[in-house]
Amino acid sequence: MLQNWATFLKARLNCSISGDFPFFFNEIQDVYKPSYDDTIFHAVFSTNQNGLHGSAICSFQLDDIQKVFEGKFKEQATSTSMWLPVPSAKVPEPRPGSCSVKDTRELPDTVLNFIRKHPLMHHNVHHDNSEPAFFVKDVSFTKVVVDNEVTISHYGGKSQDYTIYYAGTSDGKVYKVSRWRNSKGQYQSKLLDILDITNEPIRAMEISRPLKTLIIATDSLIKQLPLTSTCKTYSNCVECVQDPHCGWNREEGRCSAYTQYLIQDPRGDVEGICEASMNRKKVQANFGSAVHLECPLGNKDQEVQWYHYNLDGRRRHVQAKEGKFVLTQEQGLVLIGLGEPEAGQYDCRVNHETIASYRVHVDYQRCTTPEKSGDYHKAYTEWCNEFQKYRNALQTWEEQKQQSCPPSSSVQSTSFQSNPFF
């Protein structure tokens, strides 16, 4: 028995989606423990790629691990028996796995034999919430780092702590996720952004606190990004105010690194905080023409809904199948053959929040017959100017295409989309 481990015990880390039939992420990929916090550690898990594949981020309290190792042991009496907890009366003294002896060579044979047959604890170590901090389908997480030192002072002088997860993937992306406790003490989390770093697997990541940067390494490159670098990727107020690192500048209409003078709402508590500062764009269109309305999104994977308020103030959900509307790949909206029914206000909404708003006015006068010869010349001149703009834009595009895409080369575009399990 001198050649065997005398204190070895093990317990399962449970990272799973709860339910009547829990979904388990069984393969641990990386662990991160903050150097300044001895009470918690974080890990990324995945599933076997042969089945329903996905990844998750889970956090564990070290106190919970200690309680599991102080609890019941698990045993299988025979090869056909179920795994059951060992009765307390069958656990020998001194307790296996404890540090109550100075020299393990002095342990009696009963203890050594028990350890050899009962290395597994009965209870699992559960993550510190009813659900993982974040999970996603068809994505393989490889690395994780965590920033636990994000504290924001909100309205009324109340401060809120946030945990920011950065999870690297096998295809060179980094998921940025925010987690916090609500007023009831329950954890809530939100995917903030997906950073497209490279097309190689993320091999290592680290946070430099003195420099306030995220360091990312692959097989061929090392990249350093400011923790506030995501702010410039948010092209609208709604996405910006959800990131604890960022805030929306009302006057300039852009997202910047957070200061007390910018608006921010990472918890989503302040209803309509962005609509109050939104500048509704006016769009002047001719009768029978077409216009393109953009929905500026940093994260293109979000589901967008367009709504139309007509001149009578009635709202309806815009459907592409109606023939007058076309939804673009960039989540924009194209209005075709504009007439009086298509005039009014158009709102682009994500998760019940307005991202962009337009006021479309249809000009019917441009469609009437000119009364004076000068009106004919004016209309002809305007048409010529517009046509020349199109010619110049086309020529510039063709020149850029020839420079960036030589005939011998081919460019392959790959789209990536992730969805939650349930």
Say whether pLDDT at 416 is over 70.
no
Gap between the terminal Cα atoms of the chain: 50
Distance, in Å, from the CA atom of 347 to the CA atom of 355, rounded to the nearest integer, reads 7
Distance, in Å, from the CA atom of 382 to the CA atom of 137, rounded to the nearest integer, reads 52
Q: What is the pLDDT of residue 413?
A: 40
Distance, in Å, from the CA atom of 351 to the CA atom of 354, rounded to the nearest integer, reads 8
Distance, in Å, from the CA atom of 100 to the CA atom of 116, rounded to the nearest integer, reads 18
Distance, in Å, from the CA atom of 339 to the CA atom of 334, rounded to the nearest integer, reads 14
Say whether pLDDT at 350 is over 90.
no
Q: What is the pLDDT of residue 409?
A: 42
The DSSP element (H or E) to which 375 belongs, if any, is helix 373-404
Say whether pLDDT at 171 is over 50.
yes
Least confident interval from 222-236, 256-270, 297-311: 297-311
Say whether pLDDT at 12 is over 60.
yes
Contact partners, residue 391, CB within 8 Å, separation at least 6: none
Question: Considering only CA atoms, which of 185, 43, 58 is closest in space to residue 132?
Answer: 58
Q: What is the pLDDT of residue 375?
A: 60
Burial 74-111 (b: 16+ CB within 10 A, else e): bbeeeeeeeeeebeeeeeeeeebbeeeeeebeebeeeb
Torsion of CA 52, 298, 169, 176, to 10 degrees: -100
Contact partners, residue 217, CB within 8 Å, separation at least 6: 202, 203, 204, 205, 223
Range from 3-7, 209-213, 266-270, 377-381 that averages highest in pLDDT: 209-213
Distance, in Å, from the CA atom of 105 to the CA atom of 107, rounded to the nearest integer, reads 6
For the segment 365-373, the average pLDDT, to the nearest whole number, is: 58
Q: How far is CA 269 from CA 212, 241, 257, 272, 308, in A?
A: 27, 11, 20, 9, 26
Least confident interval from 64-73, 102-111, 409-418: 409-418
Distance, in Å, from the CA atom of 175 to the CA atom of 133, rounded to the nearest integer, reads 12
Say whether pLDDT at 339 is over 90.
no
Of the two residues 401 and 419, the one the predictor is more confident about is 401
Q: How confident is the model at residue 418 (pLDDT cuts 50, 70, 90)?
A: very low
Token pair for residue 392?
């110049």
Beta strands in 62-124 (DSSP E): 74-75, 84-85
Q: How confident is the model at residue 138 (pLDDT cuts 50, 70, 90)?
A: very high
Q: Kindly report whether the peptide bond that precedes residue 210 is cis, defined as omega within 30 degrees of 0.
A: no
For the segment 330-352, the average pLDDT, to the nearest whole number, is: 83
Say whether pLDDT at 16 is over 90.
yes
Q: Domain 280-366 in CATH: superfamily?
A: Immunoglobulins (2.60.40.10)
Of the two residues 28 and 117, the one the predictor is more confident about is 28
Number of Cβ atoms within 10 Å of the Cβ of 327: 15
Fold of the domain built from segment(s) 236-278: ligand-binding face of the semaphorins, domain 2 (3.30.1680)
Q: How confident is the model at residue 421 (pLDDT cuts 50, 70, 90)?
A: low
Q: What is the mean pLDDT of the chain?
A: 83
Distance, in Å, from the CA atom of 6 to the CA atom of 112, rounded to the nearest integer, reads 6
Q: What is the pLDDT of residue 420?
A: 47
Torsion of CA 325, 282, 365, 291, to 10 degrees: -30
Q: What is the pLDDT of residue 107?
A: 81
Least confident interval from 97-101, 290-294, 349-353, 404-408: 404-408
Q: What is the pLDDT of residue 397?
A: 76
Tens of pLDDT, residue by residue over 194-212, are 999 999 999 999 999 889 9
Q: How many residues does the chain have?
A: 422
Q: How far is CA 416 from CA 21, 172, 361, 421, in A?
A: 29, 12, 37, 16
**Residue that the structure tokens 């996603």 belong to:** 136
Distance, in Å, from the CA atom of 10 to the CA atom of 65, rounded to the nearest integer, reads 10
Of the two residues 223 and 348, the one the predictor is more confident about is 223
Q: What is the pLDDT of residue 399?
A: 78
Token pair for residue 346?
């158009």
Least confident interval from 304-313, 336-345, 357-366: 357-366
For the segment 308-325, the average pLDDT, to the nearest whole number, is: 80
Say whether pLDDT at 136 is over 90.
yes
| Matching CATH number, 1-71+123-227, of 3.40.50.720, 1.10.760.10, 3.90.79.10, 2.130.10.10 | 2.130.10.10
The answer to whether 86 touches 73, Cβ cutoff 8 Å, is yes
- List the chain domain ranges: 1-71+123-227, 236-278, 280-366
Number of Cβ atoms within 10 Å of the Cβ of 333: 22
Least confident interval from 51-55, 74-78, 142-146: 74-78
- Are 236-278 and 280-366 the same fold in CATH? no
For the segment 97-121, the average pLDDT, to the nearest whole number, is: 83
Say whether pLDDT at 370 is over 70.
no
**Residue that the structure tokens 């790949």 belong to:** 329
Residue type (1 letter), 7: T
Distance, in Å, from the CA atom of 137 to the CA atom of 23, rounded to the nearest integer, reads 12
The DSSP element (H or E) to which 381 belongs, if any, is helix 373-404
Q: How confident is the model at residue 189 (pLDDT cuts 50, 70, 90)?
A: very high
Least confident interval from 73-77, 316-320, 370-374: 370-374
Q: Based on the number of CB atoms within 10 Å of its own CB, is 314 exposed (0-12), middle (13-18) or buried (19 or more)?
A: exposed
Q: What is the pLDDT of residue 166?
A: 97
Say whether pLDDT at 411 is over 70.
no
Say whether pLDDT at 99 is over 70.
yes
The DSSP element (H or E) to which 16 belongs, if any, is strand 16-17
For the segment 342-348, the average pLDDT, to the nearest whole number, is: 86
